[in-house]
Amino acid sequence: MRIFLAGASGVIGSRLVPLLVQAGHEVGGLTRTPAKADAIAEHGAVPFVADVYDPDELTRVVVGFGPDTVLHELTDLPDLRAELAAGALAANARIRTEGTRNLLAAARAAGAQRLLAQSIAWQQQPGPGADAVAELERSVLDFGGVVLRYGQFYGPGTFFPDEAPDEPRVHIDLAARRTVEALEAPSGIVTITDPD
């Protein structure tokens, strides 16, 4: 496949790039941080630097790469423990709503046939965060895409590097492998958690 990976320098995206390349896919990797582009290229993907909140630039980049599949692994979470400040939760809700809308529009403009997007496998308290998750899932399913409901990530580079959080949870390396397997999943919801 020709896969455009949004969030290629993030905690799961940085693991997905080499797995996707090793599986024979052509990968374009999006980051908003210029300093992270080299790491994407080192793993065999074509790096793109753009801001998901700039819809014209995002569309130009995605259309230019011409993917048949878009993989949405965008989050906006700080490098903190799991106790997140209200501002961080609001930023992550924004990327799930506005960022997702912009990425879906870019995928449509590029003629992408498939889209998979990161979501969560646990219930949030009612409010902006839960509303953003619901909007993301609804818009991805309306596209005919696949919602990837991940458990809480743990392992190197996550909020839980040395210990497993409460369930639902998934080791970050297993999450990346299962995401590659989900590329062929039919439209719907795929839950990615540790085996019982």
The string of DSSP letters for 22-73 reads HTT-EEEEEES-GGGHHHHHHTTPEEEE--TT-HHHHHHHHHHH--SEEEE-
- With a cut of 70, say whether residue 79 has pLDDT above it: no
Q: What is the dihedral of CA 149, 98, 139, 32, to 10 degrees?
A: -50
pLDDT value at residue 5: 98
Mean pLDDT of 147-160: 95
Domain holding 110: CATH number?
3.40.50.720
Give the integer Cα–Cα distance in Å for 28 and 21: 10
pLDDT value at residue 88: 81
Q: Which two three-digit tokens encode residue 60? A: 């130009």
Number of domains, the chain: 1
Residue 124 is part of which domain span?
A: 2-192
pLDDT value at residue 78: 73
Give the integer Cα–Cα distance in Å for 136 and 95: 9
Q: Is 48 left (phi over 0), alpha (psi -120 to 50) or beta?
A: beta
Mean pLDDT of 157-165: 93
**pLDDT band, very low/low/confident/very high, at 145 (cuts 50, 70, 90):** very high
- With a cut of 70, say whether residue 30 has pLDDT above it: yes
Give the integer Cα–Cα distance in Å for 46 and 39: 10
